[in-house]
Structure 1
Amino acid sequence: MKKFKSSLYPLLVIVLFLGLAGIGLGLFRFTISIEPQPLDISSLPEIESPRTPAVEKVEKLPPALPTISPTLPTPVASPPKSPDPEAVAARRGAFRVSNPTEHPVRVALLARATQSKAYKEPAHWDFAPMEGGSQGLILSLPQDNLQLSKGDILVAFAQDGSRRYWGPYVVGETPIPVWNQQQAEWQLVLQP
């Protein structure tokens, strides 16, 4: 047993010394790495590049499109067809909204009070992206049905921080919202 202990001590000292040396070299960020042998490219076969055939004489083709004369006739502008103000004032109907955009949107309404120039309390509706599809959704108020009439103001804006907005639109005075005669309703389709 004594012989075993005497041979164990030098082995323990060597292991301890190597461990301390490894820690010491690690503190100095000393690393040992083995690099791969460089490839001997002289033994690789040569690859011949493909030869391009000689270009023969190219004949010039006539132009495919006819030349356009520099003076074109000016189109005659037709006067915009404005709807009859009395007919627009009589248009009172439901409100259909479609949001085909990729943005969550809030549509706000400031409705004009009947028989006065004052406005009612504003209302708003929130739409998820693509909500309403191609047909749209009819909007209503909590206390009664919603009827848009001339002079009501609409605005829509994205709620995702993209700073997109649509409007303001004045019902019966701006091209949007559109009056649908068959359904007797105003339609607002937000353009992406």
Structure 2
Amino acid sequence: MIVLAAALLHDIGNQVHRRMHPLFSAVLATPILTRLLPKVYEHPEIAAEIRGFILHAIYSHEADTPCLTTEASIVCIADGCDMFKGRGRLPFDLGNVNIHTVSALSIRDVKVERGERRPVRIRVEMDNSAGIFQVQELLRRKVDSGVLRDKVEIVAVAMPPGAATDQRIVSRLIYEEGVFKPF
């Protein structure tokens, strides 16, 4: 219940603003959880405790806030795995060309598997080496921010393995009106 509810509500605060959205998400989720959890948990004390764990998982899903529980760590890591190619397509097509959009477009697939050195492996397949930014600066930080850091290995693979070149995402850019644009 904790992971499910936190996963569903962790980004609800984006309706207020991207900046500080974990805080806004926790605030907006509180009345929803207060209304729904008593329908699942008969004892008010248990519902209140579960609500606290859910709110912690929501609030700590960004890498700059430590995840203190296994459930919060799962939500944070799962959020970090949400870096597929499609997430960067619209901003890129609208002219927002930067390392964030280019690296997001570089991610072919993310797979959660049984690990070889640790119990869990997150395998990130990249069409372009720029995807390493997503792995190093986003996913790694989310894994490191929680209690599961010693249980997860991250493997990033440029596809196809062994190829000498990457798929090109950007050929030419022009800087005008304060932004880089493909042309």
If the length of structure 1 is used for normalisation, what is the TM-score?
Answer: 0.19
Higher normalized helix content (fraction of residues): 2
Q: Select the structure with the greater relative contact order (CA < 8 A; seq sep ≥ 6).
A: 1
Structure 1 or 2, whichever has the larger Rg, is 1
